[in-house]
Amino acid sequence: MNTVRPAPSPEELGLRSARALELSGYPPNRVRRLVERGVLRRVRRGWYVGEDRWQRLDADDRYRTSVYACGLSLSDDAVLSHESAAVLHGLHLLSVPDRVHARVPVPVAGRGTRTDVAYHRMTLQLVPTTTVYGLRISGREDVVRDMASIATHRAALVVADQAARRGLDTDVLRRWIADNPGRPGVRRLALVLDRLDPAAESAGETLTRVLLHEWAVPLPVSQHWIMTAIGYHRVDFAWPDRRIILEFDGRGKYFDYRPTAEALYEERRREKALVNAGWRVIRIGWADVTRKTEAFRRLITVALAADHRPAVG
């Protein structure tokens, strides 16, 4: 059994057990009052997070906190799976589920009665389970297979792309497909593997690629390097023969690691260099790949249909 540290720990997320709070001087009646006053949030029975801390967590970390709280309450024979295992591997989800997923060896009376836990029968594991902060979770290959069985193609591919960047063993998955024709999720898993791109760096890039597949337009090159007057620059997608660049702008691109003003300045400088080198830059964001897809489709199809001179380098 491998042990990894792919995600923030329960402590880093601010998760505290009722026992830990009591040892810190917060008996149950005081904890109850703090919850009523909105100072503490009860994530699950016996597990709490400060409300201020909770509000600062993004959607993935809120779900991850719930998974920890549930996982620490499950029996030793349970293995966290599906989306729940994905977030503990540090993978981002296209959408956050409303339940924690766990595999168990055999049905037990009372299991499945809670609305916040989805229990699944234990199946043949493709790879050994992994331990994260004392919790057993499915390996990445099992997560990708399980996601294909219950999630949409888009949601499964978002997780699979990230897993591929971390060394997903696709041979294991293809052997399972060959050995299990007709099983639920097999066709979807095969399509996920056919469209897999380890070069994708965000869920937004994966969604962009899914749409381009669906529209049957010429597919771009992912993470393409282009030489400009100020050096080489890597772009999200490029059609070199048409000198068209497609960039997906996620919020983190501008708000992580560097001050916003500096990031915006460098991005403008980079884009100017690309334009001066003879490239057209098209920028899209979350709205374009979720709510305004028809406008995005028209933009791309018109741009690709236009007459562009061939690339020279």
pLDDT at residue number 64:
95
Spatial CB neighbours of 227, under 8 Å, sequence gap ≥ 6:
277, 313
How far is residue 251's CA from residue 104's CA, in Å, rounded to a whole number? 38
How far is residue 127's CA from residue 88's CA, in Å, rounded to a whole number? 16
> pLDDT tens, 33-63?
999 999 999 999 999 999 999 999 998 899 9
β-pairing, 47-50 vs 280-284, is unpaired
What percentage of the chain exceeds 90 in pLDDT? Answer: 70
Q: Residue type for 275, please?
A: V
Q: H helices of the chain, where? A: 18-23, 28-36, 51-56, 59-71, 82-88, 140-150, 153-165, 170-179, 186-194, 203-215, 251-255, 260-276, 286-290, 293-305
pLDDT at residue number 264:
77
pLDDT at residue number 236:
93
Helix (H, G, I), strand (E, B) or coil at 97: coil
How far is residue 48's CA from residue 56's CA, in Å, rounded to a whole number? 15
Contacts by 300-303, CB closer than 8 A, 24 or more apart: 300/212, 300/215, 300/217, 300/246, 301/215, 301/217, 303/242, 303/244
Q: Which tokens in the block code for residue 265?
A: 């300045």
132-to-47, 120, 135 alpha-carbon distances in Å = 18, 20, 5
How far is residue 229's CA from residue 245's CA, in Å, rounded to a whole number? 17
Angle at 199 between CA 193 and CA 203, to 5 degrees: 80
Which of 221, 222, 238 shows the shortest CA–CA distance to 278? 238
| For residue 107, pLDDT beyond 70 | no
pLDDT at residue number 308:
53
pLDDT at residue number 270:
87
Phi, psi (deg, nearest 5) at residue 3: -120, 125
> pLDDT tens, 112-144?
445 788 999 888 899 999 999 999 999 999 999
Tell if the pTM clears 0.85, that is, is over it: no
**How many residues does the structure list for the chain?**
313
> pLDDT tens, 280-289?
999 999 999 9
| For residue 251, pLDDT beyond 70 | no
What percentage of the chain exceeds 70 in pLDDT? Answer: 89
In the sheet with 100-104, reading across from the earlier edge strand, the strands are 2-3, 130-132, 135-137, 79-80, 100-104, 117-121
